[in-house]
Amino acid sequence: PMRVFLPPALFFFMFSALWGTPILLRGEGVSVGTELLFVTGLICFFLGLIAEQLALIRKSLGLSIRKNSPADS
């Protein structure tokens, strides 16, 4: 799951930094576009973390169910 969500998250983080740095250096503050790109990167990253945790839980439950199934006997 992180292989899917991490590249877009990094893209949005980097693009927000590239977009917002010149505006910030001119003293105009942080633009709405920069904030939107940064928050989008955060959402992608945290969705990837949640998906990774769900995949690990699913794998661990699948292994324990297979060990306790009567078909193994």
Contact 2, 56 (CB under 8 A): no
Task: Please report which confidence band the pLDDT of residue 31 belongs to, taking 50, 70 and 90 as the band edges.
Answer: very high
pLDDT average, residue stretch 18-44: 97
- Answer for the pair 48, 6: CB distance below 8 angstroms, yes or no: yes
Count CB atoms within 10 A of the CB of residue 27: 6
pTM, two decimal places? 0.78
Share of the chain above pLDDT 90, in %: 78
Tokens 């990167």 belong to which residue? 41
State which residues form the domain around 31.
2-72
Q: Which amino acid is at 36?
A: L
Position 62 confidence tier, pLDDT thresholds 50, 70, 90: confident
Nearest CA among 52, 17, 53, 22 for reference residue 35:
17
